Structure 1
Amino acid sequence: MTQVVMIGAGPTGLTLAMLLAKRGIAVKLIEASRSFRRIFRGEGLMPSGLAAIAQMGLSDAIEQIPHRAIDAWEFYIENRPIFRVDEPMESEGPPCTLISQPAFLEAVLEQANECKSFELIQGNAVQDLLWQGDRVSGVKLGDGRAIAADLVIGADGRNSVVRQRANLALDREAQSFDVLWFKLPTSPQFAKENVFYAILKGKEGFGAFQSSEGNFQVGWSLHKDDPLDWQQIDWAGKLASTSPDWLAAHFRQQKDAIERPLLLSVVVGRCPQWHVPGLLLLGDAAHPMSPIRAQGINMALRDAIVAANHLVPLLQQSNWAAIDAVLPRIQAEREPEIIQTQKLQQAEVAQGELIRNVPLLRHAVSRLAPFIRSRVRQSWLERQLKLRQGFAQVVLKV
């Protein structure tokens, strides 16, 4: 019998599979896609995520793939600069670093493939779960294969098939926006330093930065009350009209190169229960995160470490009762940090919505920026330090 069947070869599933396989535990990793390349994958590693990577022995891998640190964060309202924060914040390092997630996953896979106990089954989706009484005992694949396991781990993202087949509920948080994601060529003006720009003009806003792979990326907030038909918009003109002059010029220059945006539907929430006997959910399958401040990949990596700490000793014994008993403890250790992080993300969204929906406040902040800059900057900074470091000590112990 395969000891662990891992569903989903994203940051959670692949890193946890590697950790288990390196400790002699048999793992079959199932990935529906034939490639790690997707139009959008989160790139932002906060200090908490970089620390997790270091503990997994993957820091050298980061150095060998496309990566780039964020040098600063700048905020503009009504085309006026409000404040700037340089990295690393408050001399607290390392800086937020952008990585090529596909290249990162390939590097992790290379290490996992060195283990005889590891096998990747790619291009084959999970269709259903296998049950032995009221305990999950394996999975059925799209090609009809049945794979038995001591434990199934669902790390298959916010639209998790495993979660649905296990009838585990997801309590969704209300979100007022989705995201349109653009990629376009960069410019020499962005080469000297990589700044994350947050732009708000009127009720329209976006974030922009230079990615780890060298292109310029834009995330446009698409609100439920927006009257525009985003598929029919002249996006070069729209982005330019919302931007300060120096950034507007870049959008106009690249008008023929701006690709049609990808619509990212924002799903945020938590499962009240992450497990049933024989099955555990982790990462976005258990707690899909908001895109605010790039928490998804960081929480995923920390989930993998905590799960490894609890599971490795028990999987080495193949004791079903002990495995099932530890699953609630994994959720109990991870859940408080997830809840606190999502609350801070919600606070970020609420503040942005307040400024967006109250023209007088927006006007006041932009006009009074020289006088209130320090206070606004400090308020923002206090939230970011928590989002960057995490709310818990996560240490790989096995």
Structure 2
Amino acid sequence: MNQVVIIGAGPTGLTLAMLLAQRGIPVALVEASRNFRRTFRGEALMPSGLEAIEQMGLTDLVAQIPHCPLDAWEFIVEQRAIFRVDEPMEPGGQPCTLISQSPFLEGVLAEASKYPNFEFVAGTAVRDLVWQDDRVVGVILSDDRQIGADLVIGTDGRNSIVRDKANLTLATAAQSYDILWFKLASSPQFEAENIFYSVLAGDAGFGLFLGSEGQLQVGWTLHQEGRESKQWQQEDWGAKLAAASPEWLAAVFQQQADAIDRPFLLSVTVGRCPSWHAPGVLLLGDAAHPMSPIRAQGINMALRDAIVAANYLVPVLQQSLTGIDAILPQIQAEREPEIIEIQRLQRAEIAQGELLRNYPPLRYLLSRVVPHIPLLQQRIRQSWIDRQLQLRRGFTQVTLKV
């Protein structure tokens, strides 16, 4: 039996480690942090991600941790509601569901830890890779320990050390924004329904929803060319958020103005590695293809990466070492088309937002004219739904076969 070392205990690394351990593959999972608590972790499971969860046998885990479905999406332009879309978007479909990612990861770790062939190394970073005859054969940890491996899998995120040490390049897409993330106390206005609000006023734009653990979460688009990109720590964010909001929402921000002072800066990196692999090394998740936060695709693509990787790796690892490097390009070949399409649609969403931001007459048309022309309003709404259905379903059939 062959040894796999996975670097990074996020959704990709942990679920893949669990799948391999369940099938008798010896796995060491290395995580630099001592726990799974982060200021920001994606929460949204789309139908494609929920399907992956079900195939992995983790549906009961999701039911046991903090979670909540979204009830609707609503768009507000220049303080006026433009249209609303209820969840689920398809008859008989699944609604987008928000989960608390930290307890989810803890639950997956508990499941993987049931198997004696699984080892978890926490609180220790990877310093380098071990090479032998131009092939990676293990890792060197920050405490100088070495772990040998027939395959090293980098699932260590957009700033992947494995990617860097394996000399695999990341082709990044041009981005003109970052995200400021705020967490606030909930408010009675959000107790009846959990609606994801997209708000645009002037050149200000943000999203707002009630997270799985009961806090309001706000993601403010921070345009890099603007003054606020350099002075965001000095902004009066209570006033700024209120000014972009309709009256009822402005009151929420005004009531919590004293608490709106420490946002988290989420630097947006989007791209794709031309090659996800080298001899003895495979990249998955954000290490191979960092995703935009637009329409919450990161965790869903991560889970689908893990399933496809398991399908290819398990038969080879159970039989012989000689076929490992030969199947790594096949994993990329199966996953890459979906990643390309998802990133294309995310760029289209960003472009539409930029168009509205840069053309005030278009914002005026949306906010003052469209709500009074039901047919036009319905066409705009349906166009948005059609794009979202592609993002929610995924572009390929991903089925756990091992």
TM range (shorter): over 0.9
**What CA distance in whole angstroms lies between the structure 1 residues aligned with 2:48 and 2:18?**
19
Residue number in structure 1 paired with 2:185: 185
- The letter for the 2-side match of 1:380 is W
**Normalising to structure 2: TM-score of the pair?**
0.98
**What CA distance in whole angstroms lies between the structure 1 residues aligned with 2:178 and 2:82?**
25
Alignment length, in residue pairs? 397
Residue number in structure 1 paired with 2:303: 301
Residue number in structure 1 paired with 2:6: 6
How far residue 2 of structure 1 moved from its aligned partner, in angstroms, is 6.3
Residue number in structure 1 paired with 2:392: 388
- The letter for the 2-side match of 1:217 is Q
Residue number in structure 2 paired with 1:360: 361
Q: Gapped runs of 5+ residues in structure 2? A: none
2:258 is the alignment partner of 1:249? no
2:137 is the alignment partner of 1:137? yes
Residue number in structure 2 paired with 1:124: 124
2:338 is the alignment partner of 1:334? no
Runs of 4+ in 1 over 6 A off after TM superposition: none
Residue number in structure 1 paired with 2:20: 20
- The letter for the 1-side match of 2:72 is A
- Deviation track 1:217-243 (CA, whole Å, cap 9, x = no partner) reads 000000012112111011111111110
- Deviation track 1:360-383 (CA, whole Å, cap 9, x = no partner) reads 111111111222211111111111
Kept after mapping to 2: 8 A contact 1:79/1:243: yes
Residue number in structure 2 paired with 1:348: 349
- The letter for the 2-side match of 1:393 is Q
2:378 is the alignment partner of 1:374? yes
Residue number in structure 2 paired with 1:209: 209
Kept after mapping to 2: 8 A contact 1:178/1:264: yes
How far residue 41 of structure 1 moved from its aligned partner, in angstroms, is 0.3
**What CA distance in whole angstroms lies between the structure 2 residues aligned with 1:366 and 1:356?**
13
**What CA distance in whole angstroms lies between the structure 2 residues aligned with 1:52 and 1:90?**
18
How far residue 258 of structure 1 moved from its aligned partner, in angstroms, is 2.3
**What CA distance in whole angstroms lies between the structure 1 residues aligned with 2:265 and 2:99?**
22
**Normalising to structure 1: TM-score of the pair?**
0.99
- Deviation track 1:296-332 (CA, whole Å, cap 9, x = no partner) reads 000000000000000001111241x300000000000
3-state SS of paired residue (2:356): helix
**What CA distance in whole angstroms lies between the structure 1 residues aligned with 2:134 and 2:326?**
14
2:277 is the alignment partner of 1:269? no
- The letter for the 2-side match of 1:274 is W
**What CA distance in whole angstroms lies between the structure 1 residues aligned with 2:235 and 2:258?**
14
RMSD, matched Cα: 0.9
Kept after mapping to 2: 8 A contact 1:18/1:109: yes
3-state SS of paired residue (1:91): coil
**What CA distance in whole angstroms lies between the structure 2 residues aligned with 1:331 and 1:197?**
35
- Deviation track 1:190-224 (CA, whole Å, cap 9, x = no partner) reads 01110000000001010000000000000000001
Residue number in structure 2 paired with 1:194: 194
**What CA distance in whole angstroms lies between the structure 1 residues aligned with 2:184 and 2:349?**
27
- Give me the identity figure in percent: 68
- The letter for the 2-side match of 1:377 is R
How far residue 90 of structure 1 moved from its aligned partner, in angstroms, is 3.0
2:297 is the alignment partner of 1:313? no
Kept after mapping to 2: 8 A contact 1:7/1:155: yes
- The letter for the 2-side match of 1:360 is P
Superposition pairs for residues 85-234 of structure 1, below 5 Å?
85-91=85-91, 93-228=93-228, 229-234=231-236
- Worse overlay, 83-92 or 339-348: 83-92
Residue number in structure 2 paired with 1:73: 73
How far residue 257 of structure 1 moved from its aligned partner, in angstroms, is 2.2
- The letter for the 1-side match of 2:346 is Q
